[in-house]
Homo-oligomer: A and B are copies of this chain.
Amino acid sequence: MSIKNAFYAQSGGVTAVINASACGVIETARKHSDKIGTVYAGRNGIIGALTEELIDTSQESEEDISALKHTPSGGFGSCRFKLKSLEENRREYERLIKVFKAHNIGYFFYNGGGDSADTCYKVSQLSEKMGYPVQAIHVPKTVDNDLPITDNCPGFGSVAKYIAVSTLEASFDVRSMAATSTKIFVIEVMGRHAGWIAAAGALVEDYDIPVLTLFPEIAFDKEKFLIKVDAKVKEHGFCTICVSEGAHYPDGSFLAEQGTRDSFGHAQLGGAAPVVANMIKDALGYKYHWAVADYLQRSARHLASESDVLQAYALGEAAVEKALEGKNSIMPTVVRESSSPYRWSIGEAPLSEVANVEKMMPVDFISEDGFGITEKCKEYLYPLIKGEAYPPYDDNGMPAYVTMKNMTVEKKLDTFEL
Q: Which residues of B have CB within 8 Å of A302?
A: 165-166, 169, 303
Whether, in the assembled complex, A365 has its beta carbon less than 8 Å from a beta carbon of chain B, the answer is no
* Most chain B beta carbons < 10 A, residue from A13, A14, A165, A382: A165
Contact A269 B263 (CB under 8 A): no
Q: Tell whether A386 pairs with B396 under 8 Å between CB atoms, given A74-B177, A291-B296, A302-B303.
A: yes
Interchain CB contact under 8 A, A176 and B301: no
Does A72 count as interface, using CB distance less than 8 angstroms?
A: yes
A128 near B: Cβ within 8 Å? no
Chain B CB within 8 A of A101 CB: no
Find A180's partner among B47, B293, B307 (CB 8 Å cutoff).
B47
How far, in whole Å, are A289 and B263 apart by their CA atoms in the complex? 19
**Residues B262 and A398 in contact, CB atoms below 8 Å apart:** no
- A105 near B: Cβ within 8 Å? no
Whether the pair B396, A382 counts as a contact (CB closer than 8 A) is yes
Number of copies of this chain that the complex holds: 2
CB contacts (< 8 Å) of A174 on chain B: these are 295
Is A380 in the interface zone, CB < 8 Å from B? no
Q: Please indicate the chain B residues that have their CB under 8 angstroms from the CB of A80 in the complex.
A: 177, 180-181
- Give every chain B residue within 8 A of A187 (Cβ-Cβ): 296
* A175→B71 CA distance, assembly (Å): 13
Residue among A293, A307, A383, A390 with the highest chain B CB neighbour number at 10 A: A293
Given contacts A74-B176, A397-B385, A397-B387, contact A262 B275 (CB under 8 A): yes
Bitwise interface map of A from 245 to 270 toward B, beta carbon under 8 Å scored 1, else 0 = 00000000000001111111010011
Q: Does A73 contact B (CB under 8 A)?
A: yes
A300 within 8 A of B: yes
Known A10-B176, A305-B397; contact A390-B390, beta-carbon cutoff 8 A: yes
Question: Which residues of chain B are near A382, meaning CB under 8 Å?
Answer: 396-397
Interface string of A342-370 (1 = CB under 8 A from B): 00000000000000000000000000000
Q: How far is the CA of A269 from the CA of B259 in the complex (A)?
A: 10
Q: Mark A41-74, 1 if CB is under 8 A from B, else 0.
A: 0001001000000000000000000000001111
6 pairs, CB–CB < 8 Å, chain A vs chain B: A10-B176, A74-B177, A165-B399, A169-B401, A261-B261, A388-B390
Q: Which residues of A contact B (CB under 8 A)?
A: 10, 13-14, 16, 44, 47, 71-81, 161, 164-166, 168-170, 172-177, 179-181, 185, 187, 203, 206-208, 258-264, 266, 269-271, 273-275, 278, 282, 289-296, 298-303, 305, 307, 382-383, 385-388, 390, 393, 395-399, 401, 403
